[in-house]
Amino acid sequence: MANVVYSIIWLLILVFISFFVAGFCAGFYILVYPLTVCIPALSGLSDLLLQGVQFTHYCADKMMSGAPLG
């Protein structure tokens, strides 16, 4: 039963949080990623933004497996 509860929690995080985070990060990722060629110091920022874009995949994976938070 705990797996179902965790899956529902992950679904709520996916719908109400991760889509907004991914959308926000995607816009900035599109702007920053080409600049990493000229400014290599921005590669850390672009990697962080990419993780934000991939947050929806992370939440969906945790939802399907019923993994606990944390």
Q: Where are the domains of the chain?
A: 2-65
N- to C-terminal Cα distance for the chain?
18
pTM, entire model: 0.86
Q: What is the pLDDT of residues 2-46, one digit of tens each?
A: 799 999 999 999 999 999 999 999 999 999 999 999 999 999 999
The single residue listed with the structure tokens 């939440």 is: 59
Between CA 23 and CA 2 the distance in angstroms is: 30
Structure tokens of 51?
């993780």
